[in-house]
Amino acid sequence: MTRTLGRIAYRLYVAAIIGGVVIVAVLTLYRPVATAIHTVAFAAEVLPSPVKIQPWLAAEPERRKVNFRRYDGFEGDADIYVIPDGKRRAGVLIFLGANAAGADDPDVINLGKALARTGFAVMYYWSPTMGEQAQIDPEEVANLVAAFEHLSRQEFVDPNRVGLAGFSVGASFALVAAADRRIADDIDFVNAFGGYYDTPDLLVQIAAGRAIYEDGEVLWEVDKLTRRVYDNMLNDALDELAHQEASRAYVNGSYHPPTPELPTEAVAGLSLLAGVGSIAEARRLYDQMPAEFHQRVDSISPSQHVGQWSRHTAMRVMHDRGDPLIPAGESRRLVDTLRRQRPDITVYYTETDIFRHVRPDANRDTKSLLRGAGQLYRHMYHIVAVARRPAAG
């Protein structure tokens, strides 16, 4: 009996070795198969799956804290996840947006490692204003450009295979950064998950508590985080208006008290802050805000940069159907505009129902998770293919 069990164990051992050799051969010789396996492993890693096979396919990534020179002259903070094997690999810069999860958030760490195991060098840029203070800071677009350039220069990164990825507001900032002429032609892909397309549209939707979709408007219970970021943005604008009004009170060194009536722009801003009953009313109030505010808002609106994206940059857009923070209609309009106005750009859109905004929803039933896993696989396959492509030279 013991001898029989020994023979069975030995055969299983030999079969495992042969199977391992076959898997390695397939991964080495057949790139589409290797990409498919790594994409499946990635999906299993980031979703609530009981089976995690990535550690069998790749070594443990290393996390490195780095600094780089931002365009505002200050040092930027970032984390890089990379397998330290000396190989040149594809790079991806990730921006998590406003009030983002921190560097030590388990989902953030898990995503960084999962992407690194597919073959990427992954860089997270941490914004002190947006990530920590839930502010909307247009200056961060230029800092994303600097972060992209820093990642592209690393000796372990192939500069011909570097992409941008963003989540929520970070997705929209990534899209705006991708239009910057300093890096536009160097971006392999942008993966925008849960972002907005048009900033003025988003603001009026928040003010009205109504979301815009293809077939009209629907009631929208604005998430408290979205409301907080929106309130911060409008309060900053109102503070600037108050400062301008106070400055105008001093003429030739003497003080002239301002009139008791609030400026029209301030009335509009306070009304938007309080909320209105319709999108039409919100648009009317928004139009009364000062030109400087409009310029600031437009500077972070992907809708203003459609013509500046490189035709060589693949656009992969993703949104959760029931997203309470940013309506899915924003991504739908982005994709529709790309298909109408930029047929020269490759665009792929995925809409799922297995996330809570941009985090996997562990409470979904098995059927929904399996369907969503298939959608995630199709969405990620061509991104993982970038990582599996050999480095040039």
If phi > 0 it is left, if psi is from -120 to 50 it is alpha, else beta; for residue 125 that is beta
Question: What separation in angstroms does the CA of 66 have from each of 2, 25, 188?
Answer: 57, 36, 23
Residue 251 has what pLDDT?
52
55-71: pLDDT as tens digits? 999 999 999 999 999 98
d(CA 377, CA 380): 5
Q: How confident is the model at residue 25 (pLDDT cuts 50, 70, 90)?
A: very low
DSSP per-residue string spanning 268-337: HHHHHHH--S-HHHHHHHHHTS-HHHHHHHHHT-GGG-GGGS-TTSEEEEEEETT-SSS-HHHHHHHHHH
d(CA 378, CA 243): 51
Q: Point out the least confidently predicted range of 21-25, 272-276, 305-309.
A: 21-25
125-176: pLDDT as tens digits? 999 888 777 788 899 999 999 999 999 999 999 999 999 999 999 999 999 9
Tell me if the domain spanning 36-198+301-388 has CATH number 3.40.50.1820. Answer: yes
CA-closest candidate to residue 188, choices 163, 157, 218: 163
4 pLDDT more than 80: no
15 or 151: whose pLDDT is higher?
Answer: 151
Neighbours of 343 (CB within 10 A): 10
Residue 14 has what pLDDT?
47
Domain ranges of the chain: 36-198+301-388, 221-295
Residue 6 has what pLDDT?
54
7 pLDDT more than 80: no
217-259: pLDDT as tens digits? 899 999 998 999 999 999 988 888 887 766 655 555 554 455 5
CA-closest candidate to residue 112, choices 144, 152, 160, 78: 78
Question: Scanning the structure block, which residue is given the tokens 């009953």?
Answer: 277
Q: Point out the least confidently predicted range of 154-168, 302-316, 351-365.
A: 351-365
For β-strands 250-251 and 120-126, DSSP reports them as unpaired
CA-closest candidate to residue 164, choices 342, 309, 339, 326: 309
What angle, 0 to 180 degrees and rounded to 10, lies between the N-to-C axes of helices 279-287 and 264-274?
A: 150
- Are the CB atoms for 83 and 11 separated by under 8 Å? no
Q: Exposure pattern of 173-198 as b/e (b: 16+ CB <10 Å)?
A: bbbbbbbbeebbebbbbbbbbbbbbb
118 pLDDT more than 90: yes
Q: How confident is the model at residue 47 (pLDDT cuts 50, 70, 90)?
A: confident
Judging by beta carbons within 10 Å of its beta carbon (0-12, 13-18, 19+), is residue 223 exposed, middle or buried? middle
The two tokens of residue 135 are: 């502010």
